[in-house]
Amino acid sequence: MKRIEELRATDPVIASLVEQELERKRAGLELIPSENFTSLAVMQAVGSILTDKYSEGYPKRRYYGGNQVIDEVETIAVERAKQLFGVPYANVQPYSGSPANLEVYFSLLEPGDTVMGLNLSDGGHLTHGSTGSVTGRVFNSVPYHTTPDGYVDLKELERNVAEQCPKLMWVGYTAYPRRFPFAEMARIADSCGAYLAADISHIAGLVAGGAHESPVGYAHVVTTTTHKTLRGPRGAIIMVTEKGLEKDPDLAKKVEKTVFPGMQGGPHNHTTAAIAVALLEAAKPEFAEYAAQVVRNAKALGEALEADGLNLVTGGTDTHLLLVDLTAYGPGFGLFAQEALDEANITLNKNTIPGEPFSPFYPSGMRLGTPAVTSRGMREPEMQAIGHLIAQVLDEVRGYVMPRDRAERTEYLKRFRSELAGNARLRELHKQVEQLSEQFPLYPELND
């Protein structure tokens, strides 16, 4: 980026790090499925003067003066969210996905109430009742799981719901490659009068672009981050559906009060403006084409990986995301895979797989996806090439076996990392990654 002269003059250290990150992205392949490249318009809104304003409250009901402009910004963002997703209420103030989900709990539940979300290591999210999160400690969390073949185990869920009717159920996942079962989950939630909250953070862009079914006819509440497939700034939205208002006409008011003053202070107005810009972009026909291409690319990448002998959880994908089962390389191989791919400038993340045989920190799978490479303009032929590059990188580390003993593991990983750094074939693959990436400029409009 050529426009950080003032930052460079004031703080050359941070400016240099920003440039290094830009270079890392430019030369590499970003395959973390929850990451993307925002437009320059979104970044300009994030970097705007709106960051300076305090505006606790809501449009026309603020605790500070001088909010004439901010009121308009927030109103536009809210209206665009309502229109894009087809909901009667949207709150664009949540700072990010985890606060948004906490705000849903504290709008709907009392401490100790029963909640059901997909188990973290089966592809759920921390805030869906994991014991690592406050949500699993303040509420009575009864997680559901995936079956050994990787699909949501609706039968187990149905049994659990019949036995201990939860007050809230989450449908929404972070490492689940198949369509989110909104209709099935709604039927189960309705059978005991539970609230159904859809967390569409991963697939919001696909929903907006028509490449995944919308949860709006099924869920009472919908949450999403704005920075994943939706391609906006880091932020979040809570929406209440017509179905939610039918169940509780005060639901929108409850959410509003929980967000502010319940759990947050001043809204991040620069983010709100950038969310508005992203929502405008997401309503355009070219975004629908983008969303469809994200899915086509994920399928093509999955096919390429399978052709090279890799094993996909559920055998494929319906979305932007792929989960690869690496147990054929050995339990706990995910870290070797992630670090070797990092060495070649291919970025993805190690991930647990259904029935994880090792541990969450040393898992046996890897998670990858196509939102960011699709934003760069890559299509099926590039997915073929990327799949093949990944398989070649993994071949370089085949044979490493993750020790279960902690002290042994520390020594082993030291040796692994030093061998990785000296691997000439990985350096060659790194060059090939660079050559591919550089054909797809990040900001073609800047010639940059």
22 CB neighbour count, 10 Å cutoff: 15
Q: Nearest approach, Cβ of 121 to ligand DSN (angstroms)?
A: 13
Specify which residues 198 forms β-bridges with: 171, 222
Among all residues, whose Cβ is closest to ligand DSN?
Answer: 34
Query: Based on CB atoms, which residue is closest to ligand DSN, 295 or 426?
Result: 295
Q: How far apart, in whole angstroms, are the C-alpha atoms of residue 219 and residue 346? A: 36
What residues numbered 59-118 form the site for ligand DSN, per CB under 6 A?
97
DSSP code at position 313: G
Comparing CB distances to ligand DSN, the nearer of 174 and 258 is 174
Nearest-approach distance from CB 34 to ligand DSN, in angstroms: 3
Contact present, 311 and 333 (Cβ < 8 Å): no
* Complex with ligand DSN: residue 125 or 231, whichever CB lies closer: 125
Six-digit token string for 62: 């603020």
Query: In angstroms, how far is CA 27 from the centroid of its own chain?
Result: 22
Nearer to ligand DSN, 34 or 135 (CB): 34
- Which burial class, exposed, middle or buried, applies to 234 when counting CB atoms under 10 A from its CB (0-12, 13-18, 19+)? middle
Site size for ligand DSN (CB under 6 A): 4
Instruction: Give the relative orientation of helices 68-85 and 269-282 as an angle to the nearest 10 degrees.
Output: 40
> Of 31 and 259, which CB lies nearer to ligand DSN in the complex structure?
31
Cα–Cα distance measured from residue 241 to residue 245, given in angstroms and rounded to the nearest whole number: 6
Instruction: Decide: is 174 part of the binding site for ligand DSN (CB under 6 A).
Output: yes
Shortest CB 202 distance to ligand DSN, Å: 6
Shortest separation between residue 263's beta carbon and ligand DSN, angstroms: 18
Nearer to ligand DSN, 97 or 150 (CB): 97
Residues involved in catalysis: 54, 56, 199, 225, 228, 234
- The CB-of-125 to ligand DSN minimum distance in angstroms stands at 6
Query: What are the C-alpha distances in Å from 427 to residues 56, 96, 342, 382?
Result: 52, 37, 11, 20
Q: Which of 364, 115, 319, 83 is nearest to 201 (CA)?
A: 319
In whole angstroms, the minimum distance from the beta carbon of 97 to ligand DSN comes to 5
**CA torsion, points 333, 336, 337, 338, in degrees to nearest 10?**
120
Judged by CB under 6 A, the chain residues 114 through 143 that form the site for ligand DSN are 125
Shortest distance, CB of residue 78 to ligand DSN, whole angstroms?
Answer: 23
Q: Output the DSSP codes for 219-277.
A: -SEEEEESSSTT---S-EEEEE-HHHHHH-TTHHHHHHHIIIIII--S--HHHHHHHHH
Q: CB-wise, 225 or 269, nearer to ligand DSN? A: 225
Residue 318's Cβ-side half-sphere holds a number of Cα atoms within 13 Å equal to 13
Which residue ranges make up the site for ligand DSN (CB under 6 A)?
34, 97, 125, 174
